[in-house]
Amino acid sequence: MAFGLWCAVSALMIAIGVITFNMKKPAGFFANSPAPSKVTDITAYNHALGKLWIAYGVLLMASGLPLLKEKPGALVIITMLGTVFSTLALICIYAAVIAPKYKAE
């Protein structure tokens, strides 16, 4: 049951990635984060952002694997840490790589 819910949330992140990958206008990164007004290459920007969200969804799903056990016990720490670190990686990759690369001057 828990892993099923975990997979549903992860699938939502993957769906966000697919939608972002196929958008024609620049996509926003997070909630309350407007899409950049000027992007050098909209298609490449959306593809990079879409791939990032898809990778995040896959990592999130993988970090939930301990929930498959009947009584995961201490293995739940893998799920919690995986969620925290994959979210931090998502934000850092966007801020350090994607945003500066496609931001128009």
pTM: 0.90
Using CB atoms within 10 A of its CB, is residue 65 exposed (0-12), middle (13-18) or buried (19+)?
A: middle
Give the tens place of pLDDT for each residue, 27-43: 988 777 777 878 989 99
Mean local confidence (pLDDT), 6-17 = 96
Give the tens place of pLDDT for each residue, 57-102: 999 999 999 988 888 888 899 999 999 999 999 999 999 999 899 9
